[in-house]
Amino acid sequence: MVAAAVILDPLRPIDGLADSKILSERKRDSLFEIIKAVALSWSVGVASVEEIDEFNILQATFLAMQRAVNGLAIQPHKVLIDGNRLPSLHMPAQAIVKGDSKVKVISAASILAKVERDRIMADFHKKYPDFSFHLHKGYGTQQHLTEIKQFGILPIHRKTFNPVKTMISQQNIK
């Protein structure tokens, strides 16, 4: 789970910020570098697969968000978060549904998080070349599910992800 926090410089606006899911990979990569160069502060927070399995996906998401906010060199007075729930933070926060398509700073954070996550997946592809992490990015696509069935469960697979959980119970794997 990857989350990011960004404080944009109001004197240096960034053109093209949008929901990371609608941008091309090339555009996200370009904006990733611009955001890092122009933002007053930025940080990426990660929650491990073990933390996701231990706490659940929502709590791990909150943990990654907390790490991202706490990693900022400048602490914000208020945090704007994409979604409808908030992690526990030491400053006021506001959840904004579809915030990554409505608020530039949330768009910037979504771009940083998406690019960082995609790079992690590309590294996993190098480590586990039988799995096409560079293509499906670890999402539960049919290709990924077929690879799990063919090559087995990896340490990076969430044991609480339903298809993996089912395979473990059927094979009595720990």
Domain that holds residue 144: 129-174
Cα 51 from chain centroid? Answer: 14
Predicted pLDDT of residue 172:
60
Contact between residue 40 and residue 75 where contact means Cβ atoms under 8 Å apart: no
Q: Are residues 27 and 97 in the same domain?
A: yes
Question: What single DSSP character describes residue 174?
Answer: -
Residues 11 and 40 in one domain: yes
What would the pLDDT profile of 63-117 be if each residue is shown by its tens digit? 999 999 999 999 999 999 999 999 999 999 999 999 999 999 999 999 999 999 9
- Residues 10, 48, single domain; the answer is yes
How many separate domains does the chain show? 2
106 and 122 part of one domain: yes
123 and 149: one domain?
Answer: no
Are 158 and 109 within one domain? no
